[in-house]
Homo-oligomer: A and B are copies of this chain.
Amino acid sequence: MPTIKVSVSGESLSPKRMIVKGRKFEYVVDKDESSPLEYILAALAGCINIVGFLVAKEMEINIEKIFVEISGKLNTDKLMGKNTEERAGYKEIEVKVRVQGDVEEEKLEEWLKQVEERCPIGDNIMNETPVKVSVEKA
């Protein structure tokens, strides 16, 4: 059964802060300390790590450690309610991966291609994903 369902539930602690419960972990997401904008980049980083080691094992290449630097730029006008043609989210995300291990540079390009294609978070950011939202009174 390769289809899985992942769920989280959140409850606001304040206008800036929400506690989000996953299966085994609680996430505190807030505006100033651990923002949603960092959370989505952290999701992408963690995904590259897991898929990176998975693909390395399949390709029989020896990766000891993966480092990533991820950054994104966005214009806050739409978020703040200003009339703008700019999008609300990141316009572009840049990911720099550095790999420690006994592996040829050439192999790394092939490795990266696989990682990019197979990382679920990368797919959801790069491509369109339907989000169905509903609201009711508690």
Residues A5-50 near B (CB distance < 8 A): 5-12, 15-18, 20, 22-25, 27, 29-50
Q: Is the CB of B50 within 8 A of A16?
A: yes
Instruction: Give complex CA distance A34, B99 in Å.
Output: 23
Residues A68-90 near B (CB distance < 8 A): 68-82, 87-90
What residues on B are CB-neighbors of A120 within 8 Å?
A: 36-37, 74, 79, 88-90
Which of A33, A55, A69, A133 has the largest count of B CB atoms less than 10 A from its CB?
Answer: A133
Q: Is the CB of A2 within 8 A of B77?
A: yes
How many residues of A are in contact with the other chain, CB < 8 A?
A: 112
A36 in complex: contacting residue of B44, B81, B135, CB < 8 Å: B44
What residues on B are CB-neighbors of A57 within 8 Å?
A: 15
Per-residue interface assignment for chain A, residues 97 to 120, with 1 indicating a CB less than 8 Å from any chain B CB and 0 otherwise = 111100101001101101011111
Prevailing SS type, chain A contact patch: mixed
Supposing A81-B58, A134-B96, A135-B108 touch, asked if A34 and B45 sit within 8 A by C-beta, the answer is: no
| Nearest B residue (CB) for A136 | B98
A78 in complex: contacting residue of B18, B49, B118, CB < 8 Å: B118
Q: Is the CB of B36 within 8 A of A121?
A: yes
| Nearest B residue (CB) for A34 | B25
